[in-house]
Structure formats: C-alpha cells, structure tokens
Homo-oligomer: A and B are copies of this chain.
Amino acid sequence: MSKICFNVIIAGGKGTRFWPLSRAHRPKQTLKLLGRNSLIRETAERVYPLAGRKQTLVVTIADQLSLLRRELPGVPRSNFIAEPQGKNTAPCIGLAALEVMRRDPEAVMIVLPADHWVADVGAFRKTLKSAVQLAAGTDQLITIGIKPDYPETGYGYIMKNRAIGSKLDAAFVVKRFVEKPTLSAAQRLIRQHGLWNSGIFIWKASTLLTALRRYQPEIYQSLEKINKAAAAYSLTSSAPRLRKIIADVYRGMANLSIDYAVMEKAGAEGKVLTLEGQFGWSDVGSWAAVHRMMPKDRNGNASQSRWLGLDTNNCLIHAPNRLVVLLGVQSTVIVDTPDALLVADLERSQEVREVVETLNRERLNSYTT
C-alpha cells in the first residue's frame, strides 16, 4: 500500500447466537463455522496483506485477551488492546483510533469485525485498497456497502446519493442509513439500490476522533482521559495503574454503536462515503446464515458431520461426535455438543440469543459459559 494504514479487528462479541457451540468463553469469532480456521483467523489472514501483521491491531475485552492471542499468534502481543468491559463499538473503535494516532498521526485505519465471511478475498482486498486511497485524501468517513444478494432483514441498509470519482472505482455520498427492515421494506430498499451496511469502515484515525468530538463529546472526553493517563505507556500496556484508570473511565462510558453514535449523524450531514463491495459477504449472524453459505446436498442440507436423512430438507447438522438421523425434518438446525443439544427452526435461529438469556436467568449458566 502506498499509504500508511492499520488493520483494526474488533473482537469483543460474547457468543450467544451460536449456542450451544459458542459459550461465554468460546465466543463466535473463535469458532470454525466456515472453513478450516476460526472466523477471527480467517478475518486476520484476509487483511494481513493490506497493512501487515505488525500493523494489525485487535481490540477485545479483557476476558478474551489470552484466547485471541492464541488464535492470532502472528500478531504482536503489544497490538492487542483490551477493554475492561464491552461498551459496544463506538468506545472500542475510539480506543483503537487513539492507539493508531500514537503510532502514526496520519494513518488510515481499516475497521473490521472479527467474525465476517468473504467469498472472493481478492475482490475484497481490491475494494479495501481503493477505500484506503480514498480515505487518505479526505476527511470523510468511508463505509463499505455490499450489493445485496437477497432482501435480508438482519442487516441495516445504506441508501446512496450521487457518485464521486471514476465510474469503475466509484464512491457514493451516503444519503441515509436504514435500520434492519421488515421483509417488504427490504425488498423496496433493494429496488431503490440500497446496499447492506457491512460494518467495515475506513478512515484516518484523526478523522474518526474529530467526528467523535463533534457527535459524542462525552465519549471523546472519556477517551481523552485515557489518552492522558496513558501518556507514559502504550494503550496496550498491562501496567496496573493504567488498567485501573481505563476501568474507571469505562464504567461511566456510554454504551453506543458506532452506527448510532457517529455514522447516522455524519451521514445526515453528507460526511459519509460508501464504496460498493461485490465479493460475497455475510456477517455470519445466525445458524441460518451459516446454512446459507455452506455447500449443500440436493435436498438443501448442509453438514460436515456423519448423518443420515430420510425425507429431510434444508437442514443444518453440526454433530462432530455422534451419528444423527433425521426423519421427515424440514428447515431445522441441529447442533450437538457434549453437554447440550439444540434443535431449532432454522428461520428462527436469531432467537437462539434469547435461549441463552433464558438459561442464564434460570441458573443454567453452566451451559452458557
């Protein structure tokens, strides 16, 4: 890359949507849901060529620090930033921006959730390279919009305005962000050339901090406090004095997503650009999404396990240790683990999150941790 840039992998998810495979101590990004490696490792290897391993930062919560270091042995230990607790993406990305600024005040950062799936890695990198070039020369915020394959209701949408730049490498000014729609709304958004909001962002660290100061002065002030306290350290230091200050600041930190805290507001002022990505993408948001991306037999069943089906269609079977037999079962996900078994309507696999909440509430949290 001609410009200095950093990969920033945000990896603080708690892992409830993939229960019983995911647990509090085995979050989604560490699972091998698709492909041979964990999602975070696939994500990291996808972007190493963009900024290099040494300029790849990982932001996570303290609980997951050693787990993720083991998953990404190629990333220097001093590149892992630990939040004392999860406060959604705005504080997390702000913290990463501080660290990037300290390393290079001019640098561009590529913000990537740890748990996405991409089909065409070459096309993905090409789009991000264009975005980095664009970001280096502007004070606008850049987001990757994905050309939709179908009217997904689990994603937010980006509605774009006029194009800027050349036809081949076009960026668009964002008109507005739309939250997760109903099915009919999603169909309408697609007809209006809306894009899926990927949650992948590219901007100069300084640009993001300026936006936070403008739209979220409280978060910005909290970050300033941390930055001041860390003057003698790296933000990734484990020095107890620094950790304590960060923990104190985080307790009072607002819990806000970057979309709500910054993107929607900046978008309303015409300060967000979007680049169209066409590389086969998913945020791997549920078992249904995993089913959609896995290879399937002629009855629509997906599995890497030993199983037998009679009159069984559109199922996902994850059962590495036992034989599964399905008889007359339709659109169902079966996930088999040593202590717990899930059988769920595939179309309702988003609700697995509520299952975990129920288990925790009913003091069955030995099954969720």
Asked if A34 CB lies within 8 Å of chain B CBs, one says no
The distance in angstroms between the C-alpha atoms of A308 and B328, with both chains bound, is: 22
Asked if A352 CB lies within 8 Å of chain B CBs, one says yes
Q: How far is the CB of A134 from chain B (nearest CB, A)?
A: 43
Report whether A344 and B327 are in contact in the complex, using a CB–CB cutoff of 8 Å. yes
Asked if A159 CB lies within 8 Å of chain B CBs, one says no
Name the residue of chain B whose CB is nearest to the CB of A349. B327
Report whether A345 and B328 are in contact in the complex, using a CB–CB cutoff of 8 Å. yes
Count of identical protomers in the assembly? 2
Report whether A344 and B364 are in contact in the complex, using a CB–CB cutoff of 8 Å. no
A351 contacts across to B, CB distance below 8 A: 310, 327-328
Q: Is the interface of A mostly helix, strand, loop or mixed?
A: mixed
Report whether B341 and A324 are in contact in the complex, using a CB–CB cutoff of 8 Å. yes
| Contact residues of A between 322 and 369, Cβ < 8 Å to B | 322-329, 332, 334, 336, 338-345, 347-349, 351-352, 354-355, 358-359, 362, 364, 367
Report whether A328 and B340 are in contact in the complex, using a CB–CB cutoff of 8 Å. no
Query: Are A323 and B355 CB-contacts (below 8 A) given A328-B345, A341-B336, A343-B334?
Result: no
A325 contacts across to B, CB distance below 8 A: 19-20, 340-344, 355, 359
Asked if A258 CB lies within 8 Å of chain B CBs, one says no
Name the residue of chain B whose CB is nearest to the CB of A321. B339
A340 contacts across to B, CB distance below 8 A: 322-325
Given A322-B340, A328-B351, 15 more contacts at CB 8 Å? A19-B325, A308-B358, A308-B362, A310-B355, A310-B358, A319-B341, A323-B364, A324-B342, A325-B343, A325-B359, A327-B342, A327-B344, A327-B351, A327-B352, A341-B341
7 A-B residue pairings within 8 Å (CB atoms): A20-B325, A310-B354, A323-B339, A324-B343, A326-B342, A328-B345, A332-B343
Which of A's residues lie within 8 Å of B, judged by CB? Answer: 19-20, 308, 310-311, 319, 322-329, 332, 334, 336, 338-345, 347-349, 351-352, 354-355, 358-359, 362, 364, 367
Closest 8 CB pairs of A and B: A328-B345, A327-B344, A328-B348, A323-B340, A324-B341, A325-B342, A326-B343, A325-B355
